[in-house]
Amino acid sequence: MQQLLDDVLAGHRLTEEEAVRLMKTRDRGVFAIAAAADELRERKVGDVVTYVRNQNIHVTNICKNLCGFCGFGKRVGDPEAFCDDAETILWKVDQAVEHNVTEICLLSGVHPDYTLDSYVEMIGCVHEAAPQVDIHTASPDEIAWAAQQSGVTTDEAIDRLRAAGLGTLQGTAAEILVDEVRSTICPKKCDTATWVRVIKEAHEKGVRSTATIMYGSCESVEDRVRHLAILREIQDETRGFTELVPLSYLHENTALYRRGRAPAGATGREDLLLFAVARLFLDNFDHIQISWGKVGSKLAQLGLLAGGDDLGGTMFCDDVSVTAGGESADYLDPAEMERIVGDIDRRLVQRTTTYEPV
């Protein structure tokens, strides 16, 4: 294993089989892998840890998908279902502006009645109220649904969203890009080929996006690495991903876990190895985000010693994580980020959505 790590640091591109071997490590070799990833991180980005000052705006929890790993989505008519009108959305935008954010994340369920016009109007009103802010929204699944509802191509849909004020695309709804897994955890979402096609269409138009992986539910290590390989192949072609965002499955309030179809999420070993192997495998990505809302601030700090270089956003609210069981996933004060980062002799730098320093 040490020879393999040395080879990677010397420029060898990991194969899927080699990445699987590393990700299955169960002994002290975990720390050797983390150390190699940390060295590669230092070569790429130095001693900087970044974060974005952003706010999540949850527009609706009504969703056509109702994925088994999610505790947020509701059906129309459910007692806890909500769908904000324009006035409420603008009130939330005003709150975000008061928080001096550079990014607004519009998050919602994929409402069964939403059309492309619904997304265009939503993005447009937010852009008009906060033109200086990057509007980070619209997963490939949402774009595919909006296009289908309105009888247009996804290519046309992206053009209209961009004209309305879309800044960057959310690389969410990826979960695990293996259709056998998707048929269990998110059977109503778009398939792998559609997700890949829509992301490429956006990148080709100059719309950048995050890349995500939601791990720790029903997938195998081989599935995780296949997913990373698909992302690497896309990045080779488009260079459109800003970073990888690993999302550790929060299990407590989800149907998959309650029905015995998924374990209690990833372990700490699996989290660290996902961060580290992703850094070593994704040689065409500069940034690996450690999502403090998914793993907690203490493990997030260790993730910064295992290949991570970004702490994500302030968020101010994250109903999706909280409803799944992440009780402390709402807000991380930059002062606390400073403490976490300074403790490992790194420098905290505020960034934009596309990693320009603020």
d(CA 170, CA 182): 18
Residues 123-167 have pLDDT tens digits of: 999 999 999 999 999 999 999 999 999 999 999 999 999 999 999
Most confident of 74-78, 107-111, 143-147: 143-147
Output the CA torsion sign for 320, 325, 330, 332: negative
Is the CATH code 2.40.30.110 the one for domain 2-351? no
Averaged pLDDT, 85-103:
94
Looking at beta carbons, which pairs linking 143-146 to residues 24 or more positions away fall under 8 Å?
143/198, 143/202, 144/190, 144/194, 144/198, 145/64, 145/110, 145/114, 145/190, 146/114, 146/115, 146/116, 146/118, 146/119
Q: How many CB atoms lie within 10 A of CB 73?
A: 20
| pLDDT at residue 232, as a whole number | 98
Contact 324, 65 (CB under 8 A): no
Tokens of 300: 């997030």
Residues 196-213 have pLDDT tens digits of: 999 999 999 999 999 999
Tell me the average pLDDT of the chain: 95
Portion of the chain with pLDDT greater than 90, in percent? 92
Residue 316 reports pLDDT greater than 90: no
Tokens of 35: 């150390």
| pLDDT at residue 327, as a whole number | 54
Residue entry with tokens 């060898």: 12
| pLDDT at residue 326, as a whole number | 45
Residue type, 278: A
| pLDDT at residue 315, as a whole number | 84
| pLDDT at residue 230, as a whole number | 98
Domain boundaries, the chain: 2-351
Residue 328 reports pLDDT greater than 80: no
Q: In whole angstroms, what separates CA 105 from the centre of its chain?
A: 11
Contact 72, 107 (CB under 8 A): no
| pLDDT at residue 329, as a whole number | 54
Residue 321 reports pLDDT greater than 60: no
Residues 245-290 have pLDDT tens digits of: 999 999 988 999 999 999 999 999 999 999 999 999 999 999 999 9
Range name among 4-8, 74-78, 313-317, 326-330 with the lowest pLDDT average: 326-330
Give 237's pLDDT tier (boundaries 50, 70, 90). Answer: very high
Tokens of 325: 């069981």
Give 324's pLDDT tier (boundaries 50, 70, 90). Answer: very low
Averaged pLDDT, 168-192:
97
